[in-house]
Amino acid sequence: MSTAPAPEPAPPVPAEVEPQRLHPLTPLFRGLGVALVVFFGILRDQITHPDFGFLGIAAGGVVVVGAGYGLGSWWFTRYRLTDDSLHIDTGLVMRRNRVLRYDRLQAVDVAQPLVPRIFGMAELRMDVAGGDKREGRLGYLRLPDAQALRARLLARAAGLHPDTPTAPERLLLAVPAGRILGATMSSSAVLGGLLAAVVYLAVTLKLGQPLAALAVVPWILGVVTPIVRNVTYLGQFELSASPDGLRIRRGLTSVEHQTLPPGRIQGLSIKQPLLWRTVGWFRVEVDVAGMSTKKKDGESAAVVVPVGTARDVATVTRHLFGTVDPFAVRRHPAPRQARWLRPIGARYCWWGLDDVVFVAAQGWLTRTISVVPHAKTQSVRAEQGPLQRLLGLADVIVDTPQGPVRAVAVHRDVAEAAAMVPAQVRRAHELAARATGDQWMRPAAPARPAGSAGPHADTGRRRGPSNSPQPPDIG
């Protein structure tokens, strides 16, 4: 009598495919946030006629609801890594599975809000091409675990072995907290608010209205709050270079570790407000393809130098674009007739280029220098308003992905503008054909600038909404 062969045991599941839960303290952080929001909403309605008995009962109920929400959210949240993607399962009532492909990762950052930081916890934040920034959040984990998971994700995204250690880094610059405070205090909004408060206080006291003078308190608080928020958000700012991109560390209370991938920085903007010129300070922001650069706490996520010296600016541009010095390119000033449109600011309008970048400057109160590598040019176009048409002027715009960088050679002679457009297109095509993009830590095949089929000069209607202006006839 023959016996059926015993079934072969199932192959073991690789460790990184097994679903993992977040840290057990996660319910505390999630539930605490929900409880505080609900309780302050109740407290606001009771502020005029408080019922302490009701508030006590409400506080207990809020704690129970918050704890239940946090515990349920933690229990039903799991994540696992496969060969090609990160899977995140969430949902207490409605189950949801998010799949984040490694080859679509734009950035993997580590953030430590204040309360989780006290307990040594961190949140992983991932930017995915074409996705919502909220889709790629995984928190909370122990800080070493979050850093290890980040290194594993970056290695996967780069096509390297998952156990590849974190790439080394080299400090490029560190911004002292005192400089950030000084730059914030010297902003026009802060100085204007303080001056208005002083004038209001002096007038009310002069008129013998001391009670009216008390209204200046919330006024001053409204000025001081953005200062504190800005300093705490940008405090201990450090910028480092590594094979996986520019690394940014910032924050006094809540700490964030951000990485800007190599090859995805499409251009940079150098700004210098009026009051900063006396001390030689500059601010540098960048365009990053596929990454959200929306403002948070009054600050853009694309800031790489919140306030720095000319040496700091040169260090960043040299690291990003080689030996480029945007201050040293040969400048082409605006023609004389541009002064009819900008009597004072025309002298600050110029453009220039070298073998690597296109540079355009403008601005009187706040001077802005935009730097766009030829190889990253998305499109080139010329525009002409009615007054410019009368004066024989036109603007030449070198487009990059949507962001803080806007490279515009303003008020150029019509003949000059007509020659600039095809010349810039030709340079962009030549350098884009030779350029190689970076997929994290490994070079990719030669490709055109991200997000476009290639640089082009607009000959019809500008790409975009139907109400976009048509390029002028400057030929």
Partners of residue 96 on adjacent β-strands: 90
pLDDT winner (highest mean) among 187-196, 365-374, 398-407: 365-374
Largest CA distance in the chain: 114
pLDDT tens, residue by residue, 234-249: 989 999 998 888 899 9
pLDDT tens, residue by residue, 429-460: 998 887 665 555 444 333 333 333 343 444 33
312-316, 324-328, 371-375: lowest mean pLDDT where? Answer: 324-328
Partners of residue 56 on adjacent β-strands: none
164-168, 227-231, 241-245, 254-258: lowest mean pLDDT where? Answer: 164-168
| Residue 160's pLDDT band (cuts 50, 70, 90) | confident
Question: Euclidean distance between the first and final Cα of the chain, in Å?
Answer: 95
pLDDT at 133 (0 to 100): 58
pTM (predicted TM-score): 0.77
What is the CA 379 to chain-centroid distance, rounded?
22
Enclosing H/E stretch for 273: strand 265-273
> What is the rounded CA–CA span in Å between residue 234 and residue 253?
10
Average pLDDT, the chain: 79
Phi and psi based region of residue 411 (left: phi greater than 0; alpha: psi -120 to 50; beta: remaining): left
Domain 15-164 has CATH 3.30.200: no
User: Are 366 and 348 within 8 A, CB to CB?
Assistant: no
**DSSP SS3 for 258:** strand
User: Are 247 and 239 within 8 A, CB to CB?
Assistant: yes
> DSSP states of 70-110 as a string?
HHHHHHT-EEEE-SSEEEEEE-SSS-EEEEEEGGGEEEEEE
Count of alpha carbons within 13 angstroms of residue 80, beta-carbon side: 12
User: Are 204 and 127 within 8 A, CB to CB?
Assistant: no
CB atoms within 10 A of CB 162: 14
List C-alpha distances in Å: 397 to 122, 269, 378: 42, 14, 10
Quickly count helices (H) and strands (E) in the chain: 11, 25
pLDDT tens, residue by residue, 34-79: 666 666 666 666 565 666 666 667 667 766 766 777 787 788 888 9
Enclosing H/E stretch for 216: helix 216-234
Q: φ, ψ for residue 314 (rounded to 5)?
A: -65, -35
Q: Which amino acid is at 178?
A: G
Partners of residue 379 on adjacent β-strands: 399
303-308 and 20-21: which strand pairing?
A: unpaired
Partners of residue 142 on adjacent β-strands: 121
| 13 Cβ contact list (under 8 Å, min separation 6) | none
- Tell which wins on pLDDT, 187 or 344: 344
User: Are 59 and 40 within 8 A, CB to CB?
Assistant: no
> What is the rounded CA–CA span in Å between residue 444 and residue 437?
5
Q: Which amino acid is at 313?
A: V
What's the mean pLDDT in 119-131? Answer: 82
CB atoms within 10 A of CB 167: 19
User: Are 140 and 26 within 8 A, CB to CB?
Assistant: yes
Helices (H), 101-215: 114-118, 143-157, 177-185, 188-206, 210-213
What percent of the chain is modeled with pLDDT above 70?
76
List C-alpha distances in Å: 394 to 338, 358, 361: 10, 17, 15
> What is the rounded CA–CA span in Å between residue 33 and residue 282?
37
Partners of residue 99 on adjacent β-strands: 87
> What is the rounded CA–CA span in Å between residue 241 and residue 247?
6
> What is the rounded CA–CA span in Å between residue 291 and residue 456?
23
> What is the rounded CA–CA span in Å between residue 391 and residue 413?
9
Q: Give me the residue spans of the domains in the chain.
A: 15-164, 167-260, 263-446
pLDDT tens, residue by residue, 260-286: 877 788 899 999 998 899 899 999 999
pLDDT tens, residue by residue, 71-121: 877 888 889 888 888 888 887 777 788 888 888 887 888 999 888 898 999
Q: Which amino acid is at 273?
A: P
In 3D space, the residue among 311, 295, 301, 296 whose CA is nearest the CA of residue 265 turns out to be 301
